[in-house]
Structure 1
Amino acid sequence: MDTLKAIEERRSVKSYDPEHQMTQEEIDKLLSYTMLSPTAFNIQHWRFLVVQDPELRQKIREASWNQAQVTDASLLVVICADLKAWKKAPDRYWRNAPEPVQQALVPMILNYYKDNTEAERDEALRSCGMAAQTLMLVAKEMGYDTCPMDGFDFDKVGELINLPEDYLISMFIVVGKAIRPANERAGQLPLEEVVIYDRFE
């Protein structure tokens, strides 16, 4: 499937075949391609928590207002942002770059994020958002449907997954085989309403 077709056909599907299972090879492929997503300073702030324990998934479903896709989809991925990734051995993010690039960028990372909690959070969540879209498009290319979710109790889910103190949950993505397609697009805004050139009036 080409990229434009995947973008066009990616929809938020709510109903999945609960009997279908993804192979480990498929999961690895999906997440390996997702990890090619861009991130600020190449920090790769995202962490992909794959929930496989059926009991845990049921508890997460209960914390998600009993939305069936949480347990029925083949895969539940909790996309988390590591807010402190910028200071966790930052030289590793540029280890394959030429030495002058490493010497310039690693100190730049430390100088930019130090005492800048707003940038720390915003950049991490932006990176997670880009990874989420990549994950959904790769899944579509692999023949799977997806649904991004933020309809859940973030604090409760954080407790259930033992979320580290310096992490945030960005969203869920469920992946699986649809048993009912998404409804028709409800109402896309016209191009001229959402595209502005040069400046707002």
Structure 2
Amino acid sequence: MNFEELVTSRHSADNFVKDEKMTEEDFEKIFKLTKLAPSAYNLQFTDYLVITDDEKKERVKELSYNQYKIHTASAVIIVMGNKNSIEISEVEKLYSPMKMLKIIDELEYEMTLDHIKGYAEDLKADRNKLELELVRNTGIHAMLFMLSAKHFGFDTCPMHVHNVEQLRQEFNIPEHLLPVMMITIGKSVNKIRPRGYRKLVGEFVNFNGY
């Protein structure tokens, strides 16, 4: 399908075909497209925890007010912002190969690292600013994940993540990862109902000021 068809065919799934299994190869294909999402300074802030084990999914369901779609989904995915992405050691891992391959020269490399160091110091000085940056970047990444999933024939539903600290303990999620949202994925069991009302473009877009 073309891009317009892909976007218009993606709906949030309320329920999934139970026992529909997804393989690591299925996820590999989806994530190979997802990783192309843009991020600030290309720091790639987003980590995913993919939960396919039935017992572990049930535990997530319990921590998520027993929402049934988690029970029937092929997997539930925790989307997380990685606070360590702004550490200079991580930045160097991304930019050093670019210098080695002569995509950027030494001067551009040093200037880029200096810019990122200032950006990182600013975020570290304000927890709210850091968390907002993580949410902004993971949101872009997660949307591309859902479109990529639809491209390969899988339906999704973005969800709030609840009881974060209990979830963190249950799955040994380290402190530098901030759970931002969840996504259930599988094959939708419901007939696609008409999409809910969307505002007209003129209701939410303005040009050159208000």
Q: Structure 1 residue 159 and structure 2 residue 169: aligned?
A: yes
Alignment of 1:50-199 (within 5 A): 50-87=50-87, 89=89, 90-95=91-96, 96=98, 97-99=103-105, 100-114=107-121, 115-150=125-160, 152-199=162-209
- Offset of residue 10 of structure 1: 0.7
Deviations 1:93-145 (A, max 9, x none): 22314123321111211111212434322222111101111011111111111
% identical equivalent positions: 25
- Offset of residue 69 of structure 1: 1.7
Distance 1:144 1:12 in 2: 11
- Which amino acid letter does the alignment assign opposite residue 157 of structure 1? L
Query: Which secondary structure does the structure 2 equivalent of 1:50 belong to?
Result: strand
- Which amino acid letter does the alignment assign opposite residue 176 of structure 1? G
Distance 1:28 1:43 in 2: 20
Q: Does structure 2 retain, via aligned residues, the 8 Å contact 1:12–1:182?
A: no
- Offset of residue 3 of structure 1: 1.4
**Partner residue in 2 for 1:4:** 4
Choose 91-100 or 185-194, whichever is displaced more: 91-100
Q: Does structure 2 retain, via aligned residues, the 8 Å contact 1:13–1:181?
A: no
Query: Which secondary structure does the structure 2 equivalent of 1:16 belong to?
Result: coil
- Which amino acid letter does the alignment assign opposite residue 104 of structure 2? P
- Which amino acid letter does the alignment assign opposite residue 153 of structure 1? N
Distance 2:173 2:44 in 1: 18
- Offset of residue 194 of structure 1: 0.2
- Offset of residue 84 of structure 1: 2.5
Unaligned residue ranges in structure 2 (runs of 5+): none
4+ long deviations beyond 4 Å: none
Provide closer, same or farther for how the CA distance between residues 151 and 87 of structure 1 changes in structure 2, counting only shifts above 3 A: closer
Distance 1:159 1:181 in 2: 37
Q: Does structure 2 retain, via aligned residues, the 8 Å contact 1:83–1:167?
A: yes
TM-score normalized with structure 2 length: 0.89
- Bigger proportion of residues as helix: 2
**Partner residue in 2 for 1:19:** 19
TM-score normalized with structure 1 length: 0.92
Alignment of 1:16-55 (within 5 A): 16-55=16-55
Q: Does structure 2 retain, via aligned residues, the 8 Å contact 1:20–1:74?
A: yes
Provide closer, same or farther for how the CA distance between residues 19 and 94 of structure 1 changes in structure 2, counting only shifts above 3 A: same
Deviations 1:15-70 (A, max 9, x none): 10121111221111111211111111111110011112322211110111111221
Unaligned residue ranges in structure 1 (runs of 5+): none
